[in-house]
Each structure stands twice: as C-alpha cells, then as structure tokens.
Amino acid sequence: MKSVNRTSARFRHAVTIILFASASIWVSSTGRTQEPLEGPEQPIPYSHKLHAGKMNLECKKCHPNPDPGEKMTIPATAVCMECHAVIKTDSPAIQKLASFAESNRDIRWVRIYEIPSFVRFSHRAHLEAESTCADCHGPVKERVRLHREADISMKGCMDCHMAKSASTDCTFCHENMN
C-alpha cells in the first residue's frame, strides 16, 4: 500500500512539473505570437509598427511611387537621416545606419514582395482602381518585421481580378503570351 502511495505521489509530482513547464512554454509562445517576427532578419532592425503605426508616418513619405508609377521604391538612407541625424544616435543600429549614410552606400534590404519580370504590374494603376496597400501587403502598420503574408502569386492576382471584374486574359499580365 505504502509503496503504491509513494509511486502515485511521485507521479503527481511529475505531472505538476510537466503542467508547469508546458504552461510556461505556452505563455512564452503566446507572448511571441503578439509580435510575430516571421520575416527575414534585415541589415537594420527597422520597424513599420513603430514608424508607420505608432508614429503614423505616411507610407508615401518613404514609398513615393515616382513616374511612370510602377514601383513604390525603397527609401534611401537620407530619408532616415532626416530624423536619425539627431534621434537615438546612441543606438548601435542607428550608428550602423549613419555609417551607411556617410559612405553613401545603399542598405541591402532583403526583398519581401517581388514578382518575375515577365509579369506586367503597376502600383499606380491599382491605387487608382482603389486597391489598398493592405489588400496586397497585409497589416504592415502592425508589423515589427515584414514577411510575405498576402498572396501576390498568379492565383492571388486572379482571385481579385475575378472578384472585381478586371480582366483575366493571359495577355493582360503577360505581354508575350497568347
């Protein structure tokens, strides 16, 4: 009888430890899902959540869509230095940013959304047709680090074109195909 009790006490003790351990794993993993860092690590830990979310900077401050309007462009370090020449200059990340700016080097940001060159695509045409950044790039303002969470595969393009009665002819997006 006594040894059975001791065994079950040990068993209960073990169960308690397992429950406690899995509870703390659960807590730390849910803590992480609030700030998903699924995307690639970037050369400078730039955060859209801070700059476009909390500080509410407009997308076009950094992504201006110059003529002919196909591209939104990635900002030059000079845009960052408008603020970071004086803001947070004690931060190692900002010192790295400043050294790129001083030597006139572009930062090699890891690209997130890219389509092959045989596909015709214009940002301006879509913005004029009232598509929003979030339609094709997800909730960027909530992201510390971007990852490819919206679908810009051929199927992603087709689904919206069908929903909005835009053309799905092959030659609409691929000039040299019929």
CB 49 within 8 A of CB 142: yes
CB 89 within 8 A of CB 98: yes
Q: Minimal CA–CA distance to 126: which of 118, 137, 112, 139? A: 137
Indicate whether 72 belongs to the interface with ligand HEC (CB under 6 A): yes
Site string for ligand HEC, 134-153 (x = CB under 6 A): -xxx--xx----x-----xx
2 vs 58, which CB is nearer to ligand HEC? 58
Looking at residue 167, its amino acid is S
Indicate whether 101 belongs to the interface with ligand HEC (CB under 6 A): no
Indicate whether 133 belongs to the interface with ligand HEC (CB under 6 A): yes
Taking the C-alpha atoms of residue 93 and residue 47, their distance in angstroms, rounded to an integer, is 12
Residues 6+ apart with CB under 8 A from 87: 94
Indicate whether 160 belongs to the interface with ligand HEC (CB under 6 A): yes
6 vs 61, which CB is nearer to ligand HEC? 61
Distances (CA, A) of 115 to 112, 122, 132, 165: 10, 12, 18, 22
Q: What DSSP string describes 113-149?
A: S---TTS---HHHHHHTT--HHHHH--GGG-SS----
Indicate whether 46 belongs to the interface with ligand HEC (CB under 6 A): yes
Indicate whether 84 belongs to the interface with ligand HEC (CB under 6 A): yes
Q: Determine the interface stretch with ligand HEC among 6-14, 21-29, 30-38, 128-136 (rule: CB under 6 A).
A: 128-136
**Site for ligand HEC, rule CB under 6 A:** 42, 44-46, 48, 50-52, 57, 59, 61-63, 71-75, 79-80, 82-84, 87-88, 91, 93-94, 97, 109, 111-116, 119-123, 125-127, 129, 131-133, 135-137, 140-141, 146, 152-154, 156-158, 160-161, 164, 166, 168, 170, 172-174, 177
